């Protein structure tokens, strides 16, 4: 491994089951290029792939290796919505750019599955649909509102009554819900690695083990400094998301402070026997419900259920979650019994105060976004295409980019420390019926 960095991978199910990616060397030179992309998660990879396809010479800098951040650690649910706000609200707040963004969201899952086909990606992709069951009778009005708003915009959504949700999930705990048939799930690390390989085939020059330490405007474009090199490029995409200040506090402090990184824990059960699978989510949809302390699960290609949870206090988190989520799954799916978990891992989700992502133009020919709020698999792939279009000169008025000015959160270090306590608030709301 001379000249290559040792990557500090989490002990995740995805790392255990995903084929390795050919490593790229660190940057040790000064180079000139058309575009530089910082961060090789879905956003950076999709941006770089689309730029290269448009004939733009592109350099991709990654501090560790592709998929090391949220993109390789997540639940892999391909969901064409935000957690909130709903489409009417997004359009109300952001006008025409908001309306284009809603259309992008509507199409984002389909776009991901189309990209898998077009680029020939090995991502264990299953377009089986996404279900959002509701956990109290009063929350059916959330499902009704979403079906009405998305249905009006042509999304393939359908309201589900309690009996249908019970048949589709094998669970008696939910009171109905809705489904979007364009959703589904992927092995997220496989998607990241496969897209990285595809981007390289398209001519993207990738450097692993290469943290961008700082960036700034220079005559004719942007300069990015790394530990052993530098890149000068006409255009720049900052795609470091919740990990923006992990490797350099100088890189983009005003962007890093716009989101509160919150740990989300993931875990995979052993193989679920076929007889049980015929009753528990037999259609293999991705499922995530209306709890603030979210219930979510999906099968992977090896028939394990990949699920997880959140914790107020991270200490001894893996052991506590094995117990708590084991009990939860046994209660939610009586046919499953009490599962055991082979892997427990976590990653940071970038939360904003109003659950709306933040999209920015950092200056002439430079963009960034943060704040997926846990719904970024489909969105980051779709936004990658959109940012690539912006970087190749498409007018912003044609694009689904509701840009705002960066607004760092006041008292960010304090917020970051106390954020997990918000879970207690979500749990209290979960136990209440809607008025
Ligand atoms: C545990 C978890 C579960 C989730 N589950 C789901 C889900 O099921 N469905 C869904 O829609 N969304 C989910 N999400 C959200 C989703 O994973 C993210 O929105 C998405 O992966 C963001 O992709 P990204 O490329 O923008 O960021 P990331 O994947 O985080 O990529 C950022 C990259 O930048 C690199 N980087 C950081 N700093 C530097 C630097 N200075 N120089 C160079 N590189 C740098 C990092 O190493 C990283 O690889 C989940 C997130 C987490 C953490």
254 found inside a domain: yes
What average pLDDT does the segment 340-352 reach? 96
269 found inside a domain: no
**Which domain does 63 fall in, by range?**
13-74+189-259+354-408
Ligand 1 centroid distance, CA of 69 (Å): 5
Ligand 1 centroid distance, CA of 11 (Å): 16
Q: Is the minimum distance from the CB of 180 to ligand 1 under 6 angstroms?
A: no
212 found inside a domain: yes
Q: What is the CATH number of the domain that holds 360?
A: 3.50.50.60
When divided into structural domains, the chain yields a total of 1
pLDDT tens digit string along 360-412?
999 999 999 999 999 999 999 999 999 999 999 999 999 999 999 999 999 99
238 found inside a domain: yes
Phi, psi of 67 (to 5 degrees): 85, 5
39 found inside a domain: yes
> For residue 424, is the peptide bond before it cis, meaning its omega torsion is within 30 degrees of 0?
no
d(CA 211, CA 197): 20
d(CA 351, CA 374): 8
d(CA 47, CA 351): 22
d(CA 408, CA 253): 8
Q: Is the minimum distance from the CB of 286 to ligand 1 under 6 angstroms?
A: no
Supply the residue whose CA is at minimum distance from atom 16 of ligand 1: 376
- Describe the crossing of helices 87-118 and 140-152 by its angle, rounded to 10 degrees: 70
Q: The pTM is what?
A: 0.98
Residue whose CB lies within 8 A of the most ligand 1 atoms, among 14, 21, 24, 39, for a mutation test? 39
pLDDT for res 163: 98
- The answer to whether 173 touches 336, Cβ cutoff 8 Å, is no
336 found inside a domain: no
49 found inside a domain: yes
Q: How confident is the model at residue 420 (pLDDT cuts 50, 70, 90)?
A: confident
d(CA 101, CA 63): 30
197 found inside a domain: yes
Name, in order, each residue with C-beta under 8 angstroms of 127's C-beta and a sequence gap of 6 or more: 78, 109, 113, 182, 183, 184
Handedness of CA 142, 90, 44, 372 (dihedral sign): negative
- The answer to whether 128 touches 283, Cβ cutoff 8 Å, is yes
Residue 287 predicted with pLDDT over 60: yes
Q: Is the minimum distance from the CB of 192 to ligand 1 under 6 angstroms?
A: no
Q: Is the minimum distance from the CB of 41 to ligand 1 under 6 angstroms?
A: yes
Q: Which two tokens stand for residue 154?
A: 């042509």
């Amino acid at each position: 491994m001379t000249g290559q960095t040792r990557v500090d991978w989490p002990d995740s199910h995805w790392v255990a089951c995903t084929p390795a990616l050919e490593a790229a060397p660190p940057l040790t030179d000064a180079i000139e290029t058309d575009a530089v992309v910082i961060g090789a998660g879905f956003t950076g990879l999709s941006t770089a792939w689309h730029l290269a396809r448009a004939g733009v010479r592109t350099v991709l800098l990654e501090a560790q290796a592709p998929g090391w951040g949220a993109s390789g650690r997540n639940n892999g649910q391909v969901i064409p919505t935000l957690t909130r706000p709903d489409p009417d609200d997004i359009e109300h707040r952001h006008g025409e750019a908001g309306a284009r963004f809603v259309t992008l969201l509507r199409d984002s899952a389909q776009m991901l599955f189309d990209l898998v086909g077009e680029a020939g990606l090995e991502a264990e992709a299953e377009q089986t649909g996404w279900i959002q069951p509701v956990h109290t009778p009063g929350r059916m009005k959330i499902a009704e509102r979403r079906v009405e708003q998305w249905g009006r915009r042509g999304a393939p959504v359908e309201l589900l009554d309690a009996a249908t949700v019970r048949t589709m999930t094998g669970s008696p705990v939910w009171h109905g819900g809705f489904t979007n048939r364009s959703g589904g799930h992927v092995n997220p690390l496989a998607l990241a690695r496969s897209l990285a390989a595809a981007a390289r085939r398209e001519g993207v020059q990738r450097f692993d083990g290469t943290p961008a330490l700082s960036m700034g405007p220079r005559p004719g474009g942007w300069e990015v400094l790394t530990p052993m090199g530098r890149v000068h490029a006409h255009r720049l995409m900052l795609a470091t998301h919740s990990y923006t200040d992990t490797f350099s506090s100088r890189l983009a402090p005003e962007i890093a402070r716009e989101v509160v990184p919150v740990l989300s824990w993931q875990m995979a059960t052993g193989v679920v026997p076929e007889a049980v699978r015929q009753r528990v989510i037999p259609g293999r949809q991705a499922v995530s419900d209306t709890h603030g302390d979210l219930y979510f699960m999906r099968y992977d290609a090896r028939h394990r259920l990949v699920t997880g949870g959140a914790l107020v206090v991270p200490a001894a988190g893996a052991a506590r979650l094995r117990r708590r989520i084991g009990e939860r799954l046994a209660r939610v799916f009586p046919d499953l019994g009490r599962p055991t978990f082979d892997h427990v891992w976590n990653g940071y989700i970038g939360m904003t105060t109003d659950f709306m992502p933040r999209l920015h133009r950092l200056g002439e020919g430079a963009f960034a976004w943060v704040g997926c709020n846990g719904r970024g698999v489909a969105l980051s792939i779709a936004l990658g295409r959109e940012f690539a279009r912006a970087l190749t000169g498409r007018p912003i008025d044609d694009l689904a980019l509701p840009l705002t000015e960066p607004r760092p959160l006041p008292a960010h270090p304090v917020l970051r420390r106390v954020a997990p306590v918000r879970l207690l608030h979500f749990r209290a709301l979960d136990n209440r019926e809607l008025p």
